[in-house]
Amino acid sequence: MDIVVCVKRVPLTEEVDLAVDEHKKGIKKDQLAFVLNDWDNYAIEEAILLKEKHGGTVTAITVGSEEDEEVLRRCLAMGADRAIRIEAGDVSRFDSFGISKILSRVVKDFPFDLVFTGVLADDDYCGMVGMMVAEELGINHANMVIAIEIENGKARTTSELEGGLGEVSSIALPALLAIQTGINEPRYVSILGIRKAAKKELKVMDLSELGISDEELSPRTIIEEVYLPPETEGAQILTGDPDKIASDFVEILTKKGVMG
Amino acid sequence: MSEVFVIVEHRLGEIRDITLEMLWKAGELAQEHSYNVTAILLGHEVSSIAETISDRADKIIISDDEQLKNFNADIYKEIIAGLIEESKPGLILIGNTAWGMELAPCLAVRTGFPLATDCIDITFKDGKLTVQRQMFSGKIFSNVSFSSSAGCLLTIRSGVFPKDRIGDRQAQIVQREFSLKEIPQKKDFIEFVETAAGDVDIAQAELLVSVGRGIGEEENISLVRELAEALNGLLSCSRPIVDKNWLPKYLQVGSSGKSVNPKVYVAVGISGAFQHLQGITGAGTVIAINKDPKAPIFRAADYGIVGDLFKIIPVLKEKVLETRKG
Ligand SMILES: Cc1cc2nc3c(=O)[nH]c(=O)nc-3n(C[C@H](O)[C@H](O)[C@H](O)COP(=O)(O)OP(=O)(O)OC[C@H]3O[C@@H](n4cnc5c(N)ncnc54)[C@H](O)[C@@H]3O)c2cc1C
Ligand SMILES: Nc1ncnc2c1ncn2[C@@H]1O[C@H](COP(=O)(O)O)[C@@H](O)[C@H]1O
């Protein structure tokens, strides 16, 4: 079972005040901490679990800058066999179309049974690279995957639908599966583990090696402007000392008839 | 643009709300710009669904086939790509649902049309299409336009447009047959499984105290559980708590969990991602407790407490117990 996993490094945005950059096309990133996209963390774990069960290899790929190698090293420490970074200059000039063109071109020449992506990247919130790569490669696919079993050259997958319903399908390999959170429990990675994994292969390829024309990569969607959420009325904030807040809390519950 | 396509989503014989919401928005755009609204209905024995939307579209293209009984991205993609080629719609609306998120990107590659996903608004001014969407877990909004193209594909977030009828339309029904045998079947549907059944039903609760990732560790959940118990309410949670296996799936609130409608919903350490908020649209009053004053939950809540839950929850619990004692 040879599995390729597409991963992305994204900023952690929880509990930070995001600020729009001067061109209003993105956010200021210099103060932010970066992590492996949550969905991709589950995807790499799932690939490693399948490898442990069925043998084979796991390759992690990212289209990104040198700094993004940090997430590839994490994947190697988790148990991936090798990693590839595609150096493509300023990645923010591509939309998901472009990224999926690049990824599919790299993956195409690989021997693989499965390609995994996350359902969604936490930064752009597009949720489309996975299925686009599948379509570019012309291979079978499933989205929102929360369970995988390999049997007789096929993957039996469960896709999560709205309202807690699961759709079970059988898919012939090779296939691309977009992985949803909760499919497994991603393993812990220690600093030591990351240091040890430094010996593993991390290959850098240049976009120009891939022979994709600029025309093919030109964005089809254009971010005109990004901005902070419009002010809405929002919640009435309870203020005062803790005791006062607690009294107000109880008063609201009483008024709404749930303290009886 | 003369025509807007709306891809009808239905499941187990029922039309999904997202379809009505997309038809509302398509209808609004059509009124302003005199387009036609065409609903694409692929399925099996779908006449009652067609009936439901017959006064919301100008045309309904129906393909009724046993093989279309369940959604299948490969077949949908081929049929819709063919219809797009035929009619050249300027805009194609698809639900930003599990199914729509599989179909739309494939269709985009297949047709070469630009795609914007998870749109929360669409404007069309001076011949230029712009959509509004969110990034970074809803903390940033963006306006997105498109490179020149014969048409654009958009997926639409659930719950942002009304389900009401807009304008008065009388759909012409067009039945179509496609030779589905020629379309390679890549995925075999096996069955639907219920992933969220349990012994308590949070959908019935009058009061829910819901715990999110802000709780940090599994052991800390007891803190929130105790508040729920003091209030005679039920404990529920956001998705990451279920993903970590800390609580069972049937306690999850949100688009991929349960929709709840308690009189009061208390959200503890939950940021307010739209998938979570989609589960609480039926809640009477929402009280959010979060240490980040910018958390999106405060835009959706009626009341907010800004602060560290570990300091606040014990005080709330004591006050509740005290009040109950009288
Ligand atoms: C297809 C799909 C379906 C999904 N379905 C669902 C769904 O059904 N339900 C759902 O909930 N999510 C769902 N999600 C996930 C959703 O996008 C969010 O990731 C999730 O809701 C975040 O959960 P959270 O608010 O608990 O965690 P976070 O977003 O991590 O928020 C934690 C919050 O806790 C606060 N906090 C941290 N420490 C403290 C403290 N000490 N005191 C007070 N506050 C603190 C932080 O400020 C933060 O706002 C879905 C996602 C996808 C892609
Ligand atoms: N630059 C990238 N490099 C590698 N994989 C990516 C990249 N961008 C997106 N992906 C993959 O595509 C998934 C969905 O991303 P998106 O469509 O951007 O929301 C992510 O979870 C990744 O698996």
Q: Looking at the domain assignment, is residue B195 inside a domain?
A: no
Tell me, yes or no, whether B260 and B320 share the same domain.
yes
Query: What is the per-residue pLDDT for B196?
Result: 64
Show me where the domains of chain A are located.
3-217
Q: List, as one string, the DSSP characters of A190-251.
A: -HHHHHHGGGSEEEEEEGGGG---HHHHS-SEEEEEEEPPPP---PEEP-SSHHHHHHHHHH
Query: Residue B233's domain spans which residues?
Result: 202-325
Written as six digits, the tokens of B59 are: 């045309």
Q: Looking at the domain assignment, is residue B275 inside a domain?
A: yes
CATH code of B65's domain: 3.40.50.620
Distance A40 CA to ligand 2 centre (A): 8
pLDDT profile of chain A (260 residues), mean per 10: 97 87 91 95 98 97 96 97 95 94 95 97 96 97 97 94 93 97 95 90 94 92 94 89 95 91
Which residue(s) pair with A63 in the sheet? A86
Phi/psi of residue B225, each to 5°? -60, -40
Distances (CA, A) of B16 to B106, B164, B171, B208: 21, 13, 19, 26
* Interhelix angle A129-137/A96-108, nearest 10 degrees: 40
Which residue(s) pair with B57 in the sheet? none
Query: What is the per-residue pLDDT for A67?
Result: 95
Residue in this structure with the two tokens 């039926």, named with its chain if needed: B282
Which residue(s) pair with A168 in the sheet? A158, B191
Tell me, yes or no, whether B175 and B293 share the same domain.
no
Which residue puts its alpha carbon closest to atom 21 of ligand 2? A118
Q: Looking at the domain assignment, is residue B194 inside a domain?
A: no
Gap between the Cα atoms of B104 and B77, Å rounded: 8
Q: What is the pLDDT of residues B234-292, one digit of tens each?
A: 999 999 999 999 999 999 999 999 999 999 999 999 999 999 999 999 999 999 999 99
Tell me, yes or no, whether B139 and B257 share the same domain.
no
Our answer on whether the CB atom of A180 is closer than 6 Å to any ligand 2 atom is: no
Q: Of B182, B210, B225, which marks where a domain is finished?
A: B182
Strand arrangement of the beta sheet that strand B121-125 belongs to: A221-227, B140-146, B128-135, B121-125
Q: Which of B117, B90, B97, B77 is nearest to A97 (CA)?
A: B117
Confirm if B24 and B110 have CB atoms less than 8 A apart: no
Cα B113 to the chain's mean position, in Å?
A: 23
Q: Looking at the domain assignment, is residue B196 inside a domain?
A: no
- What is the architecture of the domain spanning A3-217? 3-Layer(aba) Sandwich (3.40)
Gap between the Cα atoms of A87 and A103, Å rounded: 12
Tell me, yes or no, whether B70 and B137 share the same domain.
yes
Query: What is the per-residue pLDDT for B263?
Result: 97
Phi/psi of residue A117, each to 5°? -130, 170
Chain A contact for B154, CB < 8 A?
Answer: no
Chain A contact for B105, CB < 8 A?
Answer: yes
Phi/psi of residue A51, each to 5°? -65, -40
Gap between the Cα atoms of B21 and B299, Å rounded: 22
Chain A contact for B135, CB < 8 A?
Answer: yes
Tell me, yes or no, whether B108 and B252 share the same domain.
no
Predicted confidence band of residue B182 (pLDDT cuts 50, 70, 90) = confident
Tell me, yes or no, whether B143 and B283 share the same domain.
no
DSSP category for residue B216: -
Q: Looking at the domain assignment, is residue B192 inside a domain?
A: no
Report angle CA B297, B142, B98 to the nearest 5 degrees.
70
Neighboring chain B residues of A142 at a CB cutoff of 8 Å: 102, 187
Cα B282 to the chain's mean position, in Å?
A: 14
Distance A63 CA to ligand 1 centre (A): 27
Q: Looking at the domain assignment, is residue B37 inside a domain?
A: yes
Q: List, as one string, the DSSP characters of B53-115.
A: HTTT-SEEEEEE-GGGSS--HHHHHHHHHHHHHHH--SEEEEESSTTHHHHHHHHHHHH---E
Task: Say whether pLDDT at B1 is over 70.
Answer: no
Phi/psi of residue B223, each to 5°? -55, -45
Distance from CA of B274 to the nearest CA of A (A): 12
H and E: helices and strands count for chain A = 7, 13
Written as six digits, the tokens of A24 are: 């209003």
Our answer on whether the CB atom of A128 is closer than 6 Å to any ligand 2 atom is: yes
Q: List, as one string, the DSSP characters of B8-51.
A: --EETTEE-HHHHHHHHHHHHHHHHHTPEEEEEEEESS-HHHHH
Q: In this structure, which ligand is nearest to the CA of A144?
A: 1
Q: Of B134, B150, B182, which marks where a domain is finished?
A: B182
Are B73 and A167 within 8 A, CB to CB?
no
Residue in this structure with the two tokens 């790929």, named with its chain if needed: A61
Chains A and B: how many Cβ contacts under 8 Å? 276
Tell me, yes or no, whether B17 and B150 share the same domain.
yes
Confirm if A126 and A156 have CB atoms less than 8 A apart: no
Residue in this structure with the two tokens 């494939």, named with its chain if needed: B106
Which of A219, A232, A259 is closest, CB to CB, to B323?
A259
Global pTM? 0.95
Q: Which of A130, A92, A108 is nearest to A9 (CA)?
A: A92
Tell me, yes or no, whether B211 and B159 share the same domain.
no
Its ipTM equals 0.95
Q: Looking at the domain assignment, is residue B290 inside a domain?
A: yes
Confirm if B291 and B306 have CB atoms less than 8 A apart: yes
> Given CA atoms A96, A98, A101, A102 in this order, what sign does their dihedral have?
negative
Q: Looking at the domain assignment, is residue B264 inside a domain?
A: yes
Residue in this structure with the two tokens 């819901």, named with its chain if needed: B210
For the CA of B295, the closest atom of ligand 1 is 49
Q: Which of B246, B240, B298, B252 is nearest to B272 (CA)?
A: B298
Interface with chain A: mutation pick from B69, B195, B271, highest number of A CBs within 10 Å:
B195
